[in-house]
Amino acid sequence: MQQVLENLTELPSSTGAEEIDLIFLKGIMENPIVKSLAKAHERLEDSKLEAVSDNNLELVNEILEDITPLVNVDENAAELVGILKEPHFQGVTFRVENNDLVIARILHGGMIDRQGLLHVGDIIKEVNGHEVGNNPKELQELLKNISGSVTLKILPSYRDTITPQQSCISMERQPARVRQVFVKCHFDYNPYNDNLIPCKEAGLKFSKGEILQIVNREDPNWWQASHVKEGGSAGLIPSQFLEEKRKAFVRRDWDNSGPFCGTLSSKKKKKMMYLTTRNAEFDRHEIQIYEEVAKMPPFQRKTLVLIGAQGVGRRSLKNRFIVLNPSRFGTTVPFTSRKPREDEKDGQAYKFVSRSEMEADIKAGKYLEHGEYEGNLYGTKIDSILEVVQTGRTCILDVNPQALKVLRTSEFMPYVVFIAAPELETLRAMHKAVVDAGITTKLLTDSDLKKTVDESARIQRAYNHYFDLIIVNDNLDKAFEKLQTATEKLRMEPQWVPISWVY
């Protein structure tokens, strides 16, 4: 490919039709699609594919990396990707049981599954007249050296065999409708880094936030799933049970006492108490693996929840949204037990109530969150959120992360955005610009700014599984644009939401 391009470059100049032909030919050869297909061809020429070769999967993955970026612009590339993602030598895994080679698992959607000739529990005895024994590698070598048709001698599993009477009964029944199960992943997974998976090649790689369809959950440790967005054949992923056990023994960076549970040291406990007063309580015992979700058509969320450390600009973003579009967005008026000042009117900045009334409502669970400052109570009442929603507007909230446990239900249907703090240097420069512009007279020290950055990181680690979007606020205008774009998409594109919001 490279030599062809060099030759075209070195050709002598010409005129008329010859020059046009050369320019046209050079344009074709420099086309990214042609380049990628030529690169794939060179890889195939360098290493011829055999039936079962040691580096087949590595070679196929390299080719996929070259041509995957073209799937949206060329249907031939998309078809080739589909073919390469479903090679014929994948689809079944084995286990040794009573000195026999037994089919342990058949991957959903693969060639073997579609043919329906082999079943889980079948014992492989011979391949083209050769005994297999109990070594999967011997079976691989046999298949590697076979050309043409393959004849298997198996001892079938009879666990699903039914009598003629049972068969007649089952024919009269209507087939049961199997509910499709989709999950949102809350962690990254690469089967090639997993020492527990029985067959790395059969594993399914995925990233945090991806949506998977679960097609088989019979194995308590290994589910079968496929990508919803990319499609393709099913692969193995760790089950909820297995991954919970694995993550339960991972040391958390905020826990010095050992795996998963225990008490904090006195120094760490003091810091945690300080952060709690700064709007950052953390769940140290919650493990999130998969969350079952359902696909919904576009709709306006009832609430827009902004989460973040103190001083990252949540209130500025909230106020800008409401000022620019008051017919679509609103917010609550907080309640307080303090006395109103001379220039304050009830219901504007605050709703003023007696301390006894507020304490009674807090005890009755009528507040989403509350706190005390300089001897006065402050809080957000749940009913005040619903009052905004009932006007047809989205209620914007900037609340403590703990409030997500209450808000993330079908009653409030929140879109949760984490406003992350930028790096310390950027935050310092942003604060200086605000002070220089006279917007605030409150000077923050480097220690204050560092606490904001640290608190932001801790909130993200503890509550990341709740977030629909993460925006780093290194520029308030750009952060606002990103948030505005995201809210507009909610009204135009389908959304994956927790299954509890639908059923």
Please provide residue 194's backbone torsions phi and psi, each rounded to the nearest 5 degrees. Answer: -105, 115
Q: Which CATH architecture describes the domain 92-168?
A: Roll (2.30)
Kindly tell me if the per-residue pLDDT of 9 is higher than 50.
no
Nearest 5°: CA angle at 500, between 497 and 502?
Answer: 70
Domain with CATH 2.30.42.10 in the chain: 92-168
- Mean pLDDT confidence for 130-157: 70
Q: Which CATH architecture describes the domain 298-336+379-493?
A: 3-Layer(aba) Sandwich (3.40)
Question: Residue 26: its pLDDT value, please?
Answer: 59
What is the amino acid identity at position 165? Q
Contact 390, 378 (CB under 8 A): no
- Mean pLDDT confidence for 237-256: 73
Q: What confidence category does residue 92 fall into, taking pLDDT thresholds of 50, 70 and 90?
A: low
Q: Which CATH architecture describes the domain 181-248?
A: Roll (2.30)
Question: Residue 19: its pLDDT value, please?
Answer: 56
Beta bridge partners of 131: 126
Average of per-residue pLDDT values in the chain: 77
Question: Residue 311: its pLDDT value, please?
Answer: 87
Segments in 68-219 forming alpha helices (H): 75-84, 111-115, 136-144, 164-172
Domain with CATH 3.40.50.300 in the chain: 298-336+379-493
Per-residue model confidence as pLDDT tens digits over 14-34? 445 555 555 555 566 666 666
- Mean pLDDT confidence for 449-468: 94
CA distance 223 to 214: 7
Segments in 278-313 forming alpha helices (H): none
- Mean pLDDT confidence for 114-124: 69
Distances (CA, A) of 503 to 467, 497, 498: 21, 11, 9
Q: What is the pTM of this model?
A: 0.64
> Integer distance in angstroms from the first to the last C-alpha of the chain?
56
Per-residue model confidence as pLDDT tens digits over 41-69? 666 555 544 444 444 555 666 666 676 77
CA distance 184 to 227: 11
Contact 301, 478 (CB under 8 A): no
Helix (H) or strand (E) holding 38: helix 32-46
Contact 40, 68 (CB under 8 A): no
Question: Residue 199: its pLDDT value, please?
Answer: 85
Per-residue model confidence as pLDDT tens digits over 167-178? 333 333 334 445
Segments in 325-410 forming alpha helices (H): 355-363, 382-389, 404-407
